[in-house]
Structure 1
Amino acid sequence: MSQTSNTADDRKGVPRGIVLGLRQNFPQFLLLVAINALVGGTLGQERTVLPLLADEVFQLDRYTGALTFILAFGLAKAGTNYFAGTLSDRYGRKPVLVAGWLIAIPVPLLLILGPTWGWIIAANVILGISQGLTWSTTVVMKMDLVGPSRRGLAMGFNEAAGYLGVAATALASGYIAAEYGLRPGPFLLGAAFIALGLGLSVVFVRETHQHAKVEAANHESVHAHAGSLSNGEVFTLTSFRDRSLSSISQAGMVNNLNDGLAWGLFPILFAAAGLSIERIGILAAVYPAVWGAGQLVTGGLSDRIGRKWLIVGGMIVQGVALGMVAAGDTFGVWLAAAILLGAGTAMVYPTLLAAIGDVAHPEWRARSVGAYRLWRDGGFAVGALLSGLLADAFGIPTAVAVVAALTAASGLVVAVRMRGDDHLRTSTR
């Protein structure tokens, strides 16, 4: 399905000759997929190594202290997500993407050279800002290019690329750390990814804001509010007032709450059970690998069967997987749990983004995506604090069990509150 601007659109200030559709924009779409894999790789350099660095190099013996890097990352990324949509509407998508890569340049140096834990916190604040700009912008640019009919598939490819990048780098960094030590080897990967991502973004990425204008000129919104809304109105609709948007926002926050738990505490739990760094690296990689690859299926599936029940099912599957982690004490059980956790997250992650696109009007969609991603990545910070405090007080298995219950409960909220037919009510005139 494609869509081009017409004479009437030209009178509205819409650029002439712009075509929407995955097939029609495939080279640029594929480039953005590759760039988001590099964005994910930049994050993946930390997944295996940083919790071990906190424990073995900086001797942070309380979980809450060790998780401060995730708290810093989550707060920085969440806040930047919110502003990324507004900035991309005001200045264009490409400048925001390039700025995100430029901001990331000091991160590997800080991680490699940092003599105190404060340097690691600073690196994660900078990384969070960078990820908020780069990842948010690739999401919006793919939505711009493909139009409404293949939005779930587009988000599946976007998130699959990002989290396969996370998984591959987590696995590679684990092996590098086992062979050469925790620093500097694993973080040299991140430096290479930043250089390549910046170069591709500057030289080859094209602006896509005009594609959103074409869609807006031909858009029949699910929502009563079409056209311009203030930033505050968009935030309120996305966060509280709209049944579907607010359900999506809370589910996204809880999803990343449990991901923050997995990122910060799973490697420590596995190490305490006597697993080698190589096996910890495998477990740290399998979860995002299944998550990433699964989205190649679940994103397009949500276009056909709808968003709601994939989200509900995915949150419940994640809760079951976390319960297995809490109860388990062997590599085999944890491997099965990691696979199941990845599968549940794959059901949810691209589906939530596509659902935002179903409801939000193209004129304010980028800002709605930013508000959603504010809540979603705020889950990193909530997860770091909650799981750290629970782990300090009651141990890691109890912390995991509590988060498992919260995750399943979030799925039930979606089942009760979210509309089930939003994906059917987005159309073009």
Structure 2
Amino acid sequence: MNIFSTLEAQCRRSLLILFVAGLVFWSSLASMLPTLAPYIEDLGGSKQEVGIVMGSFAIGLLLSRPKLGYLADYNSRKLVLIIGTSVAAIAPLGYLVVHSIPLLIALRIFHGVSIAAFTTGFMALVTDLSPVDKRGELIGYMSLTTPIGMAVGPALGGFLQAKAGYTPLFLVAGGLGLLATICAIQVKEAQRVQVLHEERSQSSLKAMGQLLVSPRLRIPTLVLLLTGFGFGAVTIFIALFIRSTGVDLNPGWFFTAAAIASFMGRLVTGRASDRYGRGLFITGSLIIYGVSMLMISQAKSPQVFLLAGFLEGAGSGILLPMLITLISDRSLPNERGQVFAISISGLDLGIAIAGPILGSFFDQLGYSGSFLLGAIMMLIAAVIFVTQSSKDLSHSWRFATGRERDLYAVDIKVYDKSR
């Protein structure tokens, strides 16, 4: 990680604080991954109600991201970050007192704002602080907060729930969110070019329409949508699926295996993508993710579940940082918050629709069918990326296989001269 020694002291300090904030934030959220769906079921929720409550988390993301993206560009990235950590501190306490399905849906929607705000602020801050020629490497290293948090959180949550019950679990999750807030307050933003009033109005309109459908962003957003569906299936149903098979495996270990693989993938691919391009790694990760979903659908032993979890972590651990870096490459500094907000909304929407759809058709699909459908979604995403990621089929194929640069990448040097 010699790249950090080349950065200015203040920049290094802000990145270190961001890293710690990310660790405790994701640990807070991940602590409830293996426990919340069983908690809802224990309260008397049906499979459909479990899907709706869990999926409603993404509604908060979808509703808040556009406004948060605009706020990050034209007010403060740090403010958006603090909003995200504050919600992560408050929301877990609500599970202590909320026990009805309608109120749980409302609480999950509120909790969803935490990821919308945190990821938008975090990604924009990291990108602002990253040298352009080392962006993939730095984003790769900083994104390690997710797999580490996803390794610690589920194991911690599963242990607390099994040994002490749900109340200590929710209290610890809220405490971790509070610690993330304390860290976020210490971050210093990088200086950015001030945006004129006219540009603000234009950018606001873009965020609602033009950015979303522009050639540079629509395919990454669509890939994130399909990925979100698969990710939603895992987060909502994997704990219940493992429990239904009678396999002797704490669901938290599935997420820990995924987090270990995610850590390993992020550690090496960020730097490699600066040299070989983002396309090759996105294509490979989509294939790996699809195989993991297929394995989950057929799993009947702890070993297969853990191997599938490892592959799921490897796929998502490479895919999400690479898509974020690709989006960074294709965005200007004065629109970056909105670009992240709009594009990542694809992931949010995929997660949001996965719960209700899979819950509604659960009697027909079952657990195996639900994960098989997720595998099909990942295959479709891979085909779309390989054929549509650049200006035409031939350019898309070469970019997706690492044989051509990204034709939609923004030349920041040219942009700076035009200012």
The alignment-based identity, stated in percent, is 20
1:233 aligned onto 2:218:
no
SS in structure 1 of the partner of residue 122 of structure 2: helix
1:390 lines up with 2:361 in the alignment: yes
- Residues 170-209 of structure 1: matches in 2 within 5 Å? 170-181=154-165, 183-202=166-185, 204-208=186-190
Tell me, yes or no, if the aligned pair for 1:82 and 1:371 is still in contact at 8 Å.
Answer: yes
Q: How does 1:11-410 map to 2 (within 5 A)?
A: 22=7, 25-55=11-41, 57-61=42-46, 63-181=47-165, 183-202=166-185, 204-208=186-190, 210=191, 212-213=192-193, 229-242=202-215, 244-276=216-248, 279-410=250-381
SS of equivalent to 2:187: coil
The whole-number CA distance in structure 2 between the counterparts of 1:118 and 1:85 is 28
- Output the amino acid matched with 1:346: G
The 3-state SS of whatever aligns with 2:370 is helix
Contact kept, 8 Å, 1:237 with 1:246, in 2: the verdict is: no
Query: Distance between the aligned counterparts of 2:176 and 2:227, measured in 1?
Result: 26
Q: CA deviation at 1:120?
A: 2.8
Q: In the aligned structure 2, how far is the partner of 1:301 from the partner of 1:82?
A: 32
Count the aligned residue pairs: 392
Quote the Cα distance in structure 1 between the aligned partners of 2:266 and 2:102: 36
Distance in 1 between the 2:63 and 2:344 partners?
9
Contact 1:160–1:292 (Cα < 8 Å) also in 2: yes
Q: 1:331 deviation in Å?
A: 1.0
Contact 2:29 2:88 in 1 (8 A): no
1:174 deviates by 0.6
Look up the equivalent residue of 2:189 and give its one-letter code: E
SS of 1:312's equivalent in the other structure is: helix
Q: Tell which deviates more after alignment, 283-292 or 375-384.
A: 283-292
Deviation at 1:282, TM superposition (A): 0.6
Secondary structure, aligned partner of 1:167: helix
Shift of 1:425: 6.1
How many Å separate the matches in 2 of 1:169 and 1:232? 39
Inter-partner Cα distance in structure 2 for 1:309 and 1:113: 47
d(CA) in 1 for partners of 2:84, 2:389: 33
AA in 1 matched with 2:141: F
CA shift, 1:388, in A, is 1.9
The structure richer in helix per residue is 2
Give the drift of 1:35. Answer: 0.8
- Give, in whole Å, the separation in 2 of the partners of 1:293 and 1:185: 31
Q: Provide the TM-score with structure 1 as the length reference.
A: 0.85
5+ residue gaps in structure 2? 1-5, 391-398, 400-404, 415-419
Distance verdict in 2 for CA 1:105–1:39, change over 3 Å:
closer
- State the alpha-carbon separation in 2 of the partners of residues 177 and 28 from structure 1: 34
- How far is the alpha carbon of 1:31 from its aligned partner? 1.1
Give the drift of 1:235: 4.5
CA distance in 2, matches of 1:158, 1:79: 26
Q: Match of 1:112, SS?
A: coil
Quickly say closer, same or farther: Cα 1:336–1:77, change in 2 above 3 A: same
Q: Deviations over 1:103-151 (max 9, x none)?
A: 3343122112323233432332121112211221011000011132222
* Alpha-carbon shift at residue 234 of structure 1 (Å): 4.2
Q: 1:22 to 1:64 in 2, by over 3 A?
A: farther
Q: In the aligned structure 2, how far is the partner of 1:30 from the partner of 1:296?
A: 16
Look up the equivalent residue of 1:232 and give its one-letter code: L
Output one character per residue of 1:310-367: Cα deviation in whole Å (capped at 9) or x when no partner: 1111111111111111112111111111111111112211010111111111121221
Q: CA separation in 2, counterparts of 1:176 and 1:103? A: 22
Q: Residue deviations 1:143-187, cap 9 Å, x none?
A: 011132222223223322023212211111111211122x11222
> C-alpha displacement at 1:72, in angstroms?
1.3
The code of the aligned residue for 1:192 comes to G
Residue identity opposite 1:164 in structure 2: I
Structure 1 residue 394: deviation in Å?
Answer: 2.2
Q: Is the 8 A contact 1:227 1:363 kept in 2?
A: no
Runs of 5+ consecutive residues of structure 1 not aligned to the other structure? 1-20, 217-225
**Matches of 2:63 and 2:70, distance apart in 1:** 12
SS at match of 2:181: helix
* Greater mean alpha carbon deviation, residues 347-356 or residues 232-241: 232-241
Structure 1 moving runs of 4+ over 6 Å:
none
Contact 2:327 2:339 in 1 (8 A): yes
Tell me if structure 2 keeps the 8 A contact 1:76–1:129.
Answer: yes
Farther-moved stretch of structure 1 (373-382 vs 278-287):
278-287
Cα offsets for 1:43-72 (capped at 9, x unmatched): 1121010011122x21223x2211122221
SS in 2 for 1:422: coil
Distance 1:157 1:127, change over 3 A: farther
